[in-house]
Structure formats: C-alpha cells, structure tokens
Amino acid sequence: MEITENKVSSSQINFEAKFTKEEFDSSLVNVYNKNKSKYFVQGFRKGKVPYAILLKQFGKEFFYEDAIDYNGDIAYKEILEKIKDKEFIDRPQESIKSFDDNGLVLEFSFFVNPDVELGQYTKLGLKKEAVEVTDKDIEDRIQKELESRSRMVEKDEPAELGDTVKIDYEGSVDGVKFDGGSAEDYSLELGSNTFIPGFEDQVVGMKRGDVKDINVTFPENYPASKELEGKPAIFKVTVKEVAKKELPTFDDDFIMDIDEEVDNVEQWKEKIKKQIFERKDKEAEDKLTDDIIKHVVETSKVDIPKKMIDDEIDYKVNQMEQQYSAYGLKLKDMLAYQKQTIDEFKETLRADAENNVKTRLCFEAIIKKENIQINMEEVNKLLEDYKDADDKTRARAFEYIANQNIYENFVKFLKENN
C-alpha cells in the first residue's frame, strides 16, 4: 500500500491510498478468513465452505465489496496515525477514486482545524485604564441605599413624575374594548415608562378622585398585540390614590441600621469607596484582557471553514431555543412575529460567530505554541467540592474547572508578556 498526502487547504487534507492488483487480490483471502463463518453453499456446512469453491461458484467479484472495506480500514488507521495531532471539525469522507486491472485507489478527505498565522501577542504595551472613585460614585451609592429603604406616603396634591398612583383604567379602540386594556387598582410609577408613550405624561397633574380620558397611539411595533399596532386609543382613567416617595435621613443612625460593621457615615463611605474601587479595578483588568485578545484576533490570519462558522451559529441558536423554552416560548414564534425566517436570523449571527471561532482558534494556537498547561493541583483542589457527587456531575465539573483554569493561565501569560 502506498499513501500520498495532498493539503487542499489549511483545513482540508486529502490522502490517496493505492493498492496494487496483487495486494488487492491477496486481501480477498483475508476477507474470506474474516467472514467465512457467514458463508453457506449447498453441500457444505455453514462456515466450512472452502475458498476455492466460493471462487469457482461466484467469482472473485463475490469478495470485492468486503475487500474494499477491508483495505479502506487498513488505510484509514494508517492515515489517522499520520494526523493524530490534528483536531477534526467534520466527519472524514471516503471514496473510490479508481478500481481496475491496476488495482484499487481510495481517496480520503479529512477536515481539520485550520492553521493560524498568529499576530503579535507579546510586548504589546497596552495599558490598563486608571481607576478613580469620584464623589458622584459615592453619591449614587447613597441614593441607591436611600431609594431601597424609601416608603410611599399618600398626598392630596396633583401627581408628579416619580409619584406612584393607584388607578383604574379602561381602554378602547374605535369605541371597542380590547383584551388586556382594562385593570383596577393598578399601581403605576409615573416616569417608569411602563405604559405606551404619552400615557404617563397625561396622568401627571391628576389628583385623587380625578377621572380623565387619555388619548394615545399604540407604537407601530407593539409586541403585546399586532392588531393594536399604530392605532389610536382612548383610556378612561380614574385616580384612586397618589403617593410620593419619602426617603430616610442619611445619618449615622441610618448607616448603623444598614451595616453593622461601621459606626458612622464616614466609616461607611470609606468602606463603600473601597468596594467601588475594587469593582472598577476588576472592570479595568477585564477591559485590558479584552483589549489584548481583541488585538491578537484582529492581527492574526486564519481561513475559517464555513462549516465551523455554521456550527457556531447552530450552537447559539440551540442555546436561545433552550432559553425561550424555559419561559414556555418558542424562538420560531418570536421570529415569525418579527417577520424573519430562521435562515435570515442565522445570518445576523454570522459576524459574531466568525469572531468567536477565530478567537477560539487563536486561543488554542497560543496555548499550544507557548505550552500553557492546566494546573492540576488547582483543579483537584476545586474538585474537592464535588467529591460526593456522582460520576457524571463530577466529570462535568472537571471539564468546566479545567477549561476555566487553562483560560486563566492563558490570560495570565498574555498580561505578563504585554
């Protein structure tokens, strides 16, 4: 057998396996010995039919199909040994190129991860953004704490933006009520944009006991009801209660009430300042990582097979279908509402899918080139949390932890060599 290799592209390698007529004919005996327990001819017990009898009665052609498979298996195993370091992205294809008096020629096509021509990934000199905690950051956090502990107090004055009103409302289009257009004792925060545009603005200024017809127009793209899109509507609104938000006093007593670890406002501010700094610092670190990876991907070259991008798109679509299913929805129904086919939707995902595949290929290429390893000591330490889990759960945990570990080591390498 003679095997020749032909690299069609960085992601496709073809092999030809040539068997001479003598090699092919000799394989007929091997096929006979392998399968003789299945052969039956009148006058012989099953499995005891001599090779010569089968040749005489049926001819050599009787063994050809099995012999082609037999030789194909031999060639396939030898080729796999030659490319054992490659990662396959699709099922190999096998075909008969020629079969005549000169022998048998089989052709194998293997589809593998493409070669990556890495751009510069060391000595980039990219800088981490400076981190600063401003007075506004502290004030925003104070406001958030006060808002979370506010209470609603009824008032007799007209409703203002930020107030919460309790209303009854009844909507109609062309004088006809529609499903979902009516409610009683509905609490609405004015300015929250909960209702369609224009509704909340017209409630502003109303007092408890006021009744008013509110004129609005449904948006052209109204997800709740296609029938109502773009149509004018009238809502009869009755205000039953107006309440304003009352915030607590921000002082030492308030601080000690929400945080037992501090005694006064200044201590709390220092603690919060540290928390905000740590959050911003992590965000800056993450952005630096993203910037480095983005630079590597943009400056690297790789011819990505359409198959890999299509697989990435299908993976994303499958994820979305599962997410919708968890809420009792179907992706295809959402697309139908948007008047979009699944193929059209997939095309909107293509650019991101291509970038994801390229990023992964660059990631794998750098890991291989720089011999970045999984730290098994760290992995096994984290895996201790799953020591009582079943084998399947433990295996999934190991895969996740190991992947996370090598990614962290990859990022560490990039940053240390930036």
In a shared domain, residues 278 and 234? no
pLDDT given for residue 43 in this prediction: 84
Q: What pLDDT does 42 receive?
A: 84
Q: Tens of pLDDT along 301-318? A: 999 999 999 999 999 999
Residues 232 and 299 in one domain: no
**pLDDT for res 44:** 86
CATH number for the domain including 224? 3.10.50.40
Residue 223 and residue 300 share a domain: no
The verdict on residue 271 lying in a domain is yes
Extract the tokens encoding 195.
């209702």
pLDDT one-digit tens code per residue, 343-393:
999 999 999 999 999 999 999 999 999 999 999 999 999 999 999 999 999
Residue 356 domain-assigned (yes or no): yes
> 199 - beta bridge partners?
none
Q: What is the CATH number of the domain that holds 12?
A: 3.30.70.1050
The answer as to whether 130 is a domain residue is no
End-of-domain residue from the set 111, 126, 141: 111
Residues 85, 24, single domain; the answer is yes
Q: Mark whether 236 and 293 lie in a shared domain.
A: no
Residue 35, domain extent? 2-111
Q: Which helix (H) or strand (E) covers residue 20, if one does?
A: strand 12-20
One domain for residues 270 and 342: yes
Residue 85 lies in a domain: yes
Residue 223 pLDDT? 79
Q: Are residues 303 and 403 in the same domain?
A: yes
Please check whether residues 78 and 202 belong to one and the same domain: no
Domain total for the chain? 3
Q: Is 304 exposed, middle or buried (0-12, 13-18, 19+ CB in 10 A)?
A: buried
CA distance 35 to 65: 12
Instruction: Determine the pLDDT at residue 222.
Output: 87
Question: What is the domain-level CATH number for residue 376?
Answer: 1.10.3120
Same domain, 404 and 264: yes
Residue 14: inside a domain, yes or no?
yes
- On whether both 218 and 290 belong to a single domain, the answer is no
Looking at residue 338, its pLDDT comes to 83
Residues of the chain with pLDDT under 70: none
Domain check: are 240 and 271 in the same one?
no
Q: Do residues 264 and 381 both lie within one domain?
A: yes
What DSSP line would sit under 112-181, residue for residue?
A: BPPP-B----SS----PPP----HHHHHHHHHHHHHHT-EEEE-SSPP-TT-EEEEEEEEEETTEEEEEE
